[in-house]
Copies of this chain bind each other. A is one copy, B any other.
Amino acid sequence: MHFSDRLGNAIQEKNNPTVMGLDPKLDYIPQHIRDCAQKDAMNPFHAAADSIITFNCALINAVADIVPAVKPQLAYYEWFGLEGLRAFDTTCRYAKEKGLLVIADGKRNDIGSTAEAYSGAYLGETDLENGKSTVFNTDALTVNAYLGEDGIKPFLKDCDVYEKGIFILVKTSNPSSGQLQDMPLADGRKVYEAMADLVKDWGAERCGQNGYNSVGAVVGATYPVQLAEMRERMPNTWILVPGYGAQGGKAADVALAFDAKGLGALVNASRSLMCAWQKADRYAGYSEADFALAARNEAIRMRDEINEALQKR
């Protein structure tokens, strides 16, 4: 099934337009998990990866019936080297088994021939001696399009062939995103608006049955004015919205990313779910053994808060 329809169906089935970011740091993980992993492991990297796997899989179990997708952030896995990437791979496979869509957050980019390799790793296949084989088998990948169309084409091709998706950075959630992205162009647009127009073009002939296409955009919740503007400018583009929760974006802000029917956006929260158990204010009665339940309850709270904001518009 087309990526857009798989994503749209998953959101509608669970009545939840959010994605759980899996950006593991060791200090997000309860001590009992880390202690256990250390006892069993061959070395500290192995222990870290085992801790992450145990933590991630418990979180996935806890939210699999209420959240449509997870978004592991590759940086945090690469930070633990080869063992970390083992944890990434295991996390992705486990999430898929539990029926979740997996969006690899890698912001990959390169010239055409090299982009082909990145795309093969996350969306398509690789060529081995005995034929083609899937590598990481994720459903979508975040991509940086600073290199222009020929760096994007290999991803588009794999989106078409393998029914996968990409999300291209348009207006990112970080404080200095405007330094380059908000620069005014001679034609009156800003750089991020020009990027949005490219994203719209690349998605134009890639629509699913729900009207959205396989070439999404990343627009941060921390810039609500631009978020509303981008919703209008790219009417058939899925918007992946980081910056909700820990980075400061509110439910009323992220609501601006959705169309009139309440579709077309996917809101990410990472730390607010992964670290819910550490939040003394909201989850005061929870012990570290309740980390997965805290994440589940926070996922429900987030779902309800966003759905309420959507109904209030």
A positions within 8 Å CB-CB of B: 23, 25-26, 34, 38, 44-45, 47-48, 73, 75-76, 78-82, 85-86, 89, 107-112, 114-115, 117-118, 120-122, 126-130, 133, 135-136, 144-151, 169, 172-181, 183-187, 191, 194-195, 198, 242
Contact = CB atoms under 8 A, between A and B. Distances in A.
Given A79-B126, A79-B135, A126-B81, A183 B176 contact: no
A175 B152 CA distance: 12
A82 B82 contact: yes
A110 B142 CA distance: 11
Contacts of A79: 117-118, 120-121, 126, 135
B149 A114 contact: no
Nearest to A107: B109
Nearest to A26: B127
Nearest to A179: B148
Contacts of A179: 148-149, 198
A80 B172 CA distance: 30
A115 B74 CA distance: 11
Given A111-B173, A183-B194, 4 more contacts: A47-B128, A75-B118, A78-B117, A79-B126
